[in-house]
A and B are shown apart, each in its own frame.
Chain A
Amino acid sequence: MDNFVSVSKLTKRYGDFTAVDNLSFEVKEREVFGFLGPNGAGKSTTLHVICNLTGFDKGEISVGGHDLRRETRIVKSLIGLVPQEIALYPTLSAYENVAFFASLYGLSGRALKSAVLEALEFVGLSDCVKKRAEKMSGGMQRRLNIACGIAHKPKLIVMDEPTVGVDPQSREQIMRSIRKLRENGATIIYTSHYMPEVQEICDRIAIIDGGRLAASGTEEELLKMVTDVKTITIDCPKIDEKIINFIVDLPDVKRVKYQEKLKIEVPLRFTGISTILQALVDNGVPVDNLKTDAPNLETTFLALTGKELR
């Protein structure tokens, strides 16, 4: 897969404050790229630069092979933004809002109408085509906010925390539509500080903090960066040294110790759990409970940035 977006050494300052600091990353075509970072990390600022909503001090950005500075208008026509803050005309209906923004991308007449209706259906707002934005619930406004960003079928969809403050139903609807958008061929940059979402839908993830890139890669790659070990904890009574030695000698097992429970450190891709259980059962050890503590993005994030996500 080719790179659809390439950001290279991007620096953006507000006066003396550097909001984005020498940031580089690539987004591959047709992937959902997660942009993860605590509040104030510079996520929105980066996205605004890509969407040409604010200038930048240094760096190179290209979208779909077009340079942002030199071919601004082409780049703009490729992008649809779902901004972090809801951006709608309160007194216009759902249809009128979407239609206005879509018409700015050259859609008109029947093509416009069908694109608008499709976008509204996409986010599950087909029933409120005529409802004014101001009369909608927060979750519905969020979904309308998305519809306004995608109706013109952009190749690159940039979503800045699209699920902040939405009800579970709307969140589910939004997740579904993002998956559908990717199936339809869009490339998506997805920003969030909500871990499970990012884990759920992103192919690759960049973790940024203080305007800098802390790490990037697939979820698995990120997890490995911090540790490649997971711990299997088994609830059982104290066992013989003999059994412990047997487990230690199993391939891939790194460490075994007993502290009230049996704790076994193994690589992330360990496949011998059944062998261990078999050994315990064969020796008449009653097993009460078993759990694996794999590192997750949450702990990875903490390790990489020293911060908890909000």
Chain B
Amino acid sequence: MIYIIKKQFLILIRDKGSLFFTVLFPALLVMILGNMLDKLDNPDSVIGDINLQYIGINTKILPKIDGVSFIEASSFEAAKIAVEADAATAAVQFSERGIELYQGRDSIKNRALESVFRGISIGAVNSEKTFVQTKNLGYNRTMLDYYAVTMIAMIVFMGGGVSGASTVFEERKNGTLSRTAMSPKSRASLYFGTVLSFLPQSALQVICTMLPSILIFNAHYANTIAGNLLLFSMFFIVGISTCSVFALVGLFIKINPTMVIMPAVWALMFLSGSFAQDVYITGFSDILPPRLVQNAAFELTIFGRYEKCVSAIIVSAFVLALSSVLGAIIFSRKAKI
């Protein structure tokens, strides 16, 4: 199988289209978003003052952040009512379980808030030390953190979908599919080799988003190295299984998959509320894979909880195994390919 991986890698780095999706598109998105958010994040002009009603924590250990004022509420319920009445941006309840955030209607402020709370290292509410360490966090440079995760999720699904489906399409177009299939290598091993050859691509996609956003725009993901590795692993394996699923789809579609897959993935991303909360459909959007992956990532980056990431990895591995076995069987059984 090594020769298939090698061949696919050569094709990847020589093909402008796939190189674009793997390297340039993520990097470009980081640049554009990074720059845009840098401007957007001017605290005075765009976001405005954030008015937080909080409960359950000692006032002295709250971080001092320009533009964010903390007002102690009598109860969480009362704070929520204030939010409903637009008297406060959000209500926060600090407790042993973590931080509960009740957000208002201003989506920009909400995003900023999420960044703030990600910054306050939520994992350890009962440890005052953590708060002290993160004291000079401002919300004006961390909106990218929020978007970066959304962005990676998008790239992983988009890139995986397009490259997964177009691999078979391209092979068929070049005529190389028949040529490969007539070799004495079993069809199943050829198919597995192809799925495996998505590995470098999937890794590159995530690296090309995470690295520049960290190095150039100072983006923050998880707070620990282990957390970041976990995050990377999740996106990586989600990427491969997306490739695998769409390679399976690609076995059946005879038209250029970019035409079909691109709109489909965009629709998927939109419906899962990745681009705008407005298209969010309760009950439906929640179960869409991009949404689940994004949520798992936020759980990790904002709240320091890794369970959902681990589940996402397990589910993705399962999907990967299932789809590639299914693909191998179908590919082997097809008389005419």
Note all chain A residues with C-beta closer than 8 A to B180. 101, 104
Partner of A92, one of B10, B179, B336: B10
Note all chain B residues with C-beta closer than 8 A to A101. 179-180, 183
Given the known interface contacts A53-B336, A104-B3, the answer about A81 and B182 at a Cβ–Cβ threshold of 8 Å is: yes
A54–B7 contact, CB under 8 A? no
Q: How far is the CB of A85 from chain B (nearest CB, A)?
A: 5
Note all chain B residues with C-beta closer than 8 A to A51. 182
A92–B11 contact, CB under 8 A? yes
B10–A87 contact, CB under 8 A? no
Partner of B337, one of A53, A86, A96, A132: A53
Note all chain A residues with C-beta closer than 8 A to B126. none
Note all chain A residues with C-beta closer than 8 A to B10. 91-92, 96
Note all chain A residues with C-beta closer than 8 A to B181. 53
What is the chain B residue whose CB lies nearest that of A52? Answer: B182
Size of interface on B: residues with Cβ below 8 Å to A = 21
A89–B182 contact, CB under 8 A? no
Given the known interface contacts A92-B14, A96-B10, the answer about A79 and B174 at a Cβ–Cβ threshold of 8 Å is: no
Note all chain B residues with C-beta closer than 8 A to A196. none
Partner of B174, one of A48, A54, A90: A90
Within 8 A of A (CB), among B292-337: 335-337
Within 8 A of A (CB), among B1-28: 3, 7, 10-11, 14-15
Q: How far is the CB of B263 from chain A (nearest CB, A)?
A: 26
B256 within 8 A of A: no
B59 within 8 A of A: no
Interface band, chain A: 20 to 34
Q: How far is the CB of B51 from chain A (nearest CB, A)?
A: 57
Given the known interface contacts A101-B179, A101-B183, the answer about A91 and B335 at a Cβ–Cβ threshold of 8 Å is: no
Complex alpha-carbon distance, A178 and B337, angstroms: 29
A148–B179 contact, CB under 8 A? yes
A76–B11 contact, CB under 8 A? no
Note all chain A residues with C-beta closer than 8 A to B283. none
Note all chain A residues with C-beta closer than 8 A to B179. 81, 83, 87, 101, 148
B3, B182, B185: residue with the most chain A Cβ atoms closer than 10 Å: B182
B74 within 8 A of A: no
Within 8 A of A (CB), among B135-168: none
Within 8 A of B (CB), among A131-164: 132, 148
Q: How far is the CB of A3 from chain B (nearest CB, A)?
A: 22
What is the chain B residue whose CB lies nearest that of A56? Answer: B335
A53–B7 contact, CB under 8 A? no
Given the known interface contacts A91-B14, A96-B7, the answer about A83 and B183 at a Cβ–Cβ threshold of 8 Å is: no
Q: How far is the CB of B178 from chain A (nearest CB, A)?
A: 5
B175–A86 contact, CB under 8 A? yes
B277 within 8 A of A: no
A55 within 8 A of B: yes
Within 8 A of B (CB), among A108-126: none
A103 within 8 A of B: yes
What is the chain A residue whose CB lies nearest that of B13? Answer: A91
Note all chain A residues with C-beta closer than 8 A to B176. 87-89
What is the chain B residue whose CB lies nearest that of A112? Answer: B3
Complex alpha-carbon distance, A103 and B10, angstroms: 15
Complex alpha-carbon distance, A106 and B184, angstroms: 9
B15–A91 contact, CB under 8 A? yes
Complex alpha-carbon distance, A106 and B335, angstroms: 23
A307 within 8 A of B: no
B174–A103 contact, CB under 8 A? no
Q: How far is the CB of A113 from chain B (nearest CB, A)?
A: 13
Contact with B along A25-62 (1 / 0, CB 8 A): 00000000000000000000000100111110000000
A258 within 8 A of B: no
What is the chain A residue whose CB lies nearest that of B6? Answer: A100
B7–A105 contact, CB under 8 A? no
Given the known interface contacts A54-B335, A89-B7, A100-B7, the answer about A73 and B178 at a Cβ–Cβ threshold of 8 Å is: no
Partner of B175, one of A54, A87, A92, A96: A87
Note all chain A residues with C-beta closer than 8 A to B7. 89, 92, 96, 100
A77–B184 contact, CB under 8 A? yes
Complex alpha-carbon distance, A90 and B185, angstroms: 23
A103–B184 contact, CB under 8 A? no
Note all chain A residues with C-beta closer than 8 A to B11. 89, 91-92
Note all chain B residues with C-beta closer than 8 A to A104. 3, 180, 183-185
A85–B175 contact, CB under 8 A? yes
Complex alpha-carbon distance, A132 and B182, angstroms: 23
Note all chain A residues with C-beta closer than 8 A to B186. 73
Q: How far is the CB of B48 from chain A (nearest CB, A)?
A: 51
Note all chain A residues with C-beta closer than 8 A to B335. 54-55
Complex alpha-carbon distance, A236 and B208, angstroms: 87
What is the chain A residue whose CB lies nearest that of B190? Answer: A104
Q: How far is the CB of B296 from chain A (nearest CB, A)?
A: 36
Q: How far is the CB of A82 from chain B (nearest CB, A)?
A: 10
B175–A103 contact, CB under 8 A? no
Q: How far is the CB of A36 from chain B (nearest CB, A)?
A: 23
What is the chain B residue whose CB lies nearest that of A80? Answer: B182
Given the known interface contacts A77-B184, A101-B183, the answer about A87 and B174 at a Cβ–Cβ threshold of 8 Å is: yes
Beyond A52-B182, A73-B184, A89-B11, 12 additional pairs, beta carbon < 8 A: A53-B336, A74-B184, A81-B182, A83-B175, A83-B178, A86-B175, A87-B178, A88-B175, A90-B174, A96-B7, A104-B184, A105-B183
The 11 listed contacts between A and B (C-beta, < 8 Å) are: A53-B178, A53-B182, A54-B335, A54-B336, A55-B336, A74-B184, A87-B176, A87-B179, A89-B11, A91-B15, A100-B3
**Which residues of A line the B interface, CB within 8 A?**
48, 51-55, 73-74, 76-77, 79, 81, 83, 85-92, 96, 99-101, 103-106, 132, 148
